[in-house]
A and B are shown apart, each in its own frame.
Chain A
C-alpha cells in the first residue's frame, strides 16, 4: 500500500446529503480509496483536498471560505455532484449563492445526482494519474441505469417536449441561424428520466455511462441539432422541418380521412403561426367589409 498522501475533507451546504453519503460510502474497502493513498479526515486543517457537495447557501458560503483557507497547500478542490457543479435542481432557491466555484476555485467536477462512489473514486484516481482495475461487477452499471444521455439524431424532431418536462431546467432549446439546438446540461440534470419518458420519438436515452468527471464544466453538454423550416410568407425560421413531417405523418396515420388533404395540410403547415393568424385576419376583414358593403347597399 502506498503512503497516505491525500486527505479529503467533506464540506456540505444546501445539498440533499445524497452526495455527502456517497463520499462516506467511498470508505468501503471495495472501492479501493485506501489503495490510492487517500483518506477522509474530519477537520480542514488535516486535509489538502476539499470535496464540496451542495449548492451553497448564504450561511454555508462563509464557512466554505474558512474551510478553504485552512486547507493545506497545494489545495485541491473537487465539486461532487450536480448541486456543486451548477446548483442543480436548487438553482432558483432564494438562499442559494453558489455554485461553489463562485466562492472558491474548483479544480475538478464530478457530475451525477449523486455520482456513484465508483465515479468519485475513479475520478480521484484519474486526477492522481493512477489507474484502478475496475473489473469487478460493481464497476459496471446495471441495465436500466440512468446515466449520461444519448441523442438519436435520426429520431429527434426538435420538438422540445423534453425541455418542458425537465425537472431541473437542464434542457435548453436554442434557435439560431436556421438551426435548432436541443442542449442537455448533464451537470445540471437530476437524471430523473422524464425527458426519456416524454420524448414522442424515443430519441433520448439515459445510458449506462457514469464516468463524467471533467475539469471544465462547459464541456458537460450533449447537443442535438435539427434544421428549421422557413415560413413561406415571411421567410422567418419557425419550426424544425422534421417536426412538421412527423406531425403530418401522425395525422395521416391517425385520421385517414384527411389523406386527400395531404397537400393542403403540408402547405398550411409551412406558414408560421404569426402569418397564419394574419391570413385569418385578412379573411375576417374581407368578410367584414363585404357585410358592410351589403348593409350600405340595403340602407
Chain B
C-alpha cells in the first residue's frame, strides 16, 4: 500500500516554501505532486499597472537571488519595444554585473548543499567568502541584492578603473574558493558519496521535459543562451559551456562549480576589453508591438514576453522562469529514487520558487488544485 510523504511547505524547511507530496512504496518514490502558491504575488498583473521604468524594480523582485538577470532580460525585451540600441560599454558592463550575480548564486547554492549534507565547516567557508561578492556588488551598485543596475537603454552605474581593480582583487579569492570546492568534488567524502548516482536525469528525458541551465547541462546537453542566442557582449567573449554527462546530483554540482571559473574568465575579459563611451542612452517612445527576449539566468533560460499598445504602460508581460521549466525534470529525478534523497534532489535543481510561484493548476476532472506535475 503506497503512502504519502509530505515535504514542506514550512517544515522541514527548504530555503523557500513549497509543498511536495511524494507517493512512496517500499521506500521508493513512485509519484510526485508539487504544490506551490506560498510565494504567489500576482506579479504579471502588477506589471500592467506601472510604467516601463517602474517595472524594472518589479521585475527585479520576481527573485531576490537572480534579481539582476530579471532586470536585464526585461530591459532587453523593452529595448525591442522602444527600438533602442544599447551602447557598447553598457553591453560589456552588463556581462560583468551578471556574471558576478551568477557567482554569488552558484556559491549560495553550494552553501545550501553543504547545509543539507551537514557539512558545517564547508557551509561557513563558502558563505563567508561569498560575502565578499555581496560587498562588492553593494560597492558597485548601491545594494547587495536588488542592485537595479540595468535600465532600459543601458546600465545605471559605470565601472571606473578603481572599481575594476577591486573586482579583480575579489576574483582572485573567488578562484581559490572555486578550486577548493572543485577539490571537494574530486576526492572521497560526503560531497561525492551522498550525491553520486542520486536523482538521475538521463539526457533524453532532460531534453523531453525541457530542462534548462545547469540542470540540463548536468545531463550532458551543451545548451546555454549566452552562446546559442548571444546578448549583451557574450558573443564577443570567450567561455566554455560546461557540461557533465552523468545526470546525477554530483554532475549538476560539478557543472555549477566549473561554471564559476568561466564566470571569472568572462569578467576578466570584459574588464580588459571594456569599450569607452556612454553607459546608457535615453529610450524612445514605446512602439505598438510585441517582443520576446531571453537570457541565461544562473538557473537556466529566462524568457520575457511584452506586448505594447504604444502607451508607457505595458499591456501584457509574461515571464517564463528557469525553475518553472526545471520542475518537470524534478519530477523525473524523484521518481524511482529513495525517499531519504528527496530533499537533496529537490535542492539539486537549485529551485527558486519565488520565480516559479505564479501559477496553480487545477485538475478539471478531480477539481484538485495541483502545482506542476509531468
Contact = CB atoms under 8 A, between A and B. Distances in A.
B127 A43 contact: no
Interface in A137-161: 138, 141-142, 144-146
Contacts of A92: 46, 49
A142 B41 contact: no
B134 A17 contact: no
Interface in A105-130: 113-114, 116
Given A12-B17, A42-B13, A114 B41 contact: no
Interface string B135-160: 10011011111101000000011000
A163 B8 CA distance: 40
A99 to B, nearest CB: 13
B46 A90 contact: yes
B128 interface: yes
B139 A17 contact: no
Given A59-B40, A93-B41, A167-B58, A17 B354 contact: yes
Contact of B64 (A18, A28, A90): A18
B61 A18 contact: yes
Contact of A191 (B11, B53, B143): B143
Contacts of B40: 14, 57, 59, 95
Interface stretch (A19-27, A215-223, A238-246, A277-285): A19-27
Contacts of B134: 25
- Most chain A CB within 10 A, of B60, B135, B142, is at B142
A146 B143 contact: yes
Contact of B138 (A25, A145, A192): A145
A273 to B, nearest CB: 23
A28 B131 contact: yes
B108 A21 contact: yes
A185 interface: no
A94 B45 contact: yes
Contacts of A94: 42, 45
Contacts of A30: 128, 131
A168 B16 contact: no
Nearest to A67: B10
A57 B57 CA distance: 20
A100 interface: no
A116 B137 CA distance: 12
Interface in B1-52: 9-13, 15-17, 37-43, 45-46, 49-51
Contact of B65 (A21, A59, A141): A21
B272 to A, nearest CB: 24
Interface of A is mostly: loop
B11 A146 contact: no
A30 B132 CA distance: 11
B345 interface: no
A4 to B, nearest CB: 15
Contact of B54 (A54, A144, A193, A194): A194
A81 B45 CA distance: 23
A141 B143 CA distance: 10
A92 B11 CA distance: 29
A95 B146 contact: no
Nearest to B353: A17
B135 A138 contact: yes
A57 B38 contact: yes
Contact of A57 (B41, B135, B148): B41
Contact of B42 (A21, A93, A113, A116): A93
Interface residues on B, range: 35 or more
Nearest to B58: A89
A30 B124 CA distance: 10
B300 to A, nearest CB: 17
A146 B124 contact: no
A29 interface: yes
B43 to A, nearest CB: 7
B64 A17 contact: yes
A14 B139 CA distance: 28
A55 interface: yes
A13 interface: yes
B63 interface: yes
B62 interface: yes
A266 interface: no
Contacts of B145: 18, 21-22, 114
Contacts of B16: 12, 17, 20
A220 B323 CA distance: 36
Interface in B328-346: none
Nearest to A88: B61
B67 interface: yes
Contacts of A142: 135, 138-139, 142
A25 B144 CA distance: 12
A96 interface: yes
A13 to B, nearest CB: 5
Interface string B51-80: 101101110111111010000000000000
A30 B39 CA distance: 30
B17 A167 contact: no
A93 B17 contact: no
B96 interface: no
Contacts of A116: 138, 144
B37 A57 contact: yes
Given A57-B37, A93-B42, A145-B142, A192 B9 contact: no
17 contacts: A12-B16, A17-B352, A18-B64, A18-B65, A57-B38, A59-B37, A90-B46, A94-B45, A96-B42, A113-B146, A114-B145, A144-B142, A165-B53, A167-B53, A167-B56, A190-B61, A192-B57
Interface of B: 9-13, 15-17, 37-43, 45-46, 49-51, 53-54, 56-58, 60-65, 67, 108, 124, 127-128, 131, 134-135, 138-139, 141-146, 148, 156-157, 352, 354
**Leading 10 A-B pairs by shortest Cβ distance:** A18-B64, A167-B57, A16-B64, A93-B42, A16-B61, A146-B142, A17-B64, A17-B354, A142-B139, A18-B145
